[in-house]
A and B are shown apart, each in its own frame.
Chain A
Amino acid sequence: MIVSTHIIMGGKLRSLLISMVALSLGSMSTALAQDADDVPKWTAEDLVFEASPEHTEEFHKYHFFHKEGVSYDQALLDIGECNTFRKGPIGKEGETFHIVPQFVSLSETRSYKPYVYNPNSGGVVGAVIGEIVGAPIVLKAKAQRMRKCMQYKGYDRYGLSKKLWKKIMKVEDADLVKINARIASGPKPKTERLLP
């Protein structure tokens, strides 16, 4: 069902019309095809919701990324790398305090690959990222790192509802990369592109 929604912001009716398919979350998860390794193959077309002013205010926290013409394999590498940055300092998951160590293993000649995709890591039970329980400051820093990294890689950002965002982000690490890579390399979202 195609619906047009007026977005009301700050009491003002904006002449912004967004055409979107309204789909409830419940029907979405059942309707979608499942991967062999149980990773849902969602695309931007499945991430459609009715945007209310409450949603638009929270787009800085809840969003997804898309790049035109990028292959799924490339998106896997890109999102994998940015996800490593998103997770933050090594060995201190979710740590945002400015605790500076006395020693770090940094060499002049050795090259650092922030992320190497391992195709065998799928299906392994990993830790669910404590995104939802994290303090706001932790979430803000995580979002900043992910956005900056994806911006430099040339990806566009699109808004999401919190509910849908949880769906694509509150998953095991390997799945998170796969799900988001599928979305990023899929059809172009019909909603408006946000500023980086």
Chain B
Amino acid sequence: MTRIIAIITLTLCLFAQTASAQIYQRPDDMEYFKQKKAPTALEPDSGYVFVRLAKSANKFMAAPTLIRTLTDEEVNAYEALKRQKFEKAKAKNEKRRAKRIADKAEAKKKRVPYNKPIPPVLTYDRFVIEYEDVSNVYQVWARKEYRKTERGREVFFKLSPGNYVVYDIAGVCMCMGTVQFQVKAGEITDMGMIVADAYDRGGQISEFPEIEAFSKDHGEYRAGFPYAASAIRPATPEMDFPEELLGLKRVNADYRAKGKMPMFFSSMLDRLVPMPGVLSYRLDKIIDERTGETIE
């Protein structure tokens, strides 16, 4: 009996270890700044992002997860490896499926029960490989704030220059419509303010008008679902900005609409609150407000 328990414990430990290996690690190029150690100059090769996280009256505050979109070279290298691994896995999957299906038919003929599961058809889109050559997921942590303000927190961090997509806010995937922006080297990209709210923290109306307007038709969610909606307010001169950083070059994020994305992670699904002049919707179609055209 003790042996069985020991084996189970060991298995669980091993499982926990492999599971923890998948847990997110911050990309090497991401570095948070604190007000105490504010940078006095910007590195010419690094990108910088400044973002304000608003705290709602319902005591809700949300941070985004940004994804740097891959360059063509990166895509090609990854796809080549994935294709290679997929072909191998596909052959194995087909063989196994065929055997199980045949066994099941045989069992049916003999009228004996057959309980082994038939593996689903492996598709390229849902095939996942371990890939460590590139890190492009940047989870922003509110607790790594640059400073706390009356309105919430401000986060200031360094990362590689590139094109970034606001993929997730508060663990909710913006898969059905979001924005992207360019981070250029040697300047601070000001994302403005992330505004999000939840209804289960004592409030039934959000103090943020755009959240209230966007989620007013969300019916049952308002009765105790722990999330209302998320919005980004582009930076304005009225927004707080630390004095000690005023001497550094700063530009406002040039938001552009981004089309639908698959669910890579996150557990809930939504889309970003429409952004005037940038992003709007016609049913589930995403409209690029700069051109008026639908994005596929």
Q: Which residues of B approach A to under 8 Å, CB–CB?
A: 22-25, 27, 65, 67, 69-70, 72, 75, 78-79, 82, 101, 117-121, 125-128, 131-137, 139, 163, 165, 167, 171, 175-176, 180, 217-221, 225, 259-271, 281, 283-284, 296
Contacts and interface: CB of A to CB of B under 8 A. Distances in A.
Contacts of B296: 111, 113
A149 B139 contact: no
B24 A99 contact: yes
Contacts of B117: 127
A108 B56 CA distance: 32
Contacts of A124: 121
Given A91-B127, A96-B267, A112-B259, A152 B22 contact: no
Interface in A49-72: 60
Contact of B24 (A88, A100, A113): A100
A102 B217 contact: no
7 contacts: A88-B263, A105-B70, A106-B70, A148-B270, A149-B284, A152-B281, A152-B283
Given A85-B269, A96-B267, A149-B284, A103 B131 contact: yes
When A and B form their complex, which 8 residue pairs have the shortest distance between CB atoms, in order from nearest? A195-B219, A91-B128, A127-B120, A100-B24, A108-B69, A145-B269, A104-B264, A96-B267
A105 B218 CA distance: 31
A61 B101 CA distance: 33
Is chain A's interface secondary structure helix, strand, loop, or mixed overall? loop
B219 A196 contact: yes
Contact of B136 (A91, A103, A149): A103
A91 B126 contact: yes
A145 B136 contact: no
B25 A102 contact: yes
Nearest to B127: A91
Given A97-B267, A107-B69, A144-B268, 6 more contacts: A89-B263, A102-B135, A126-B121, A144-B269, A148-B176, A195-B219
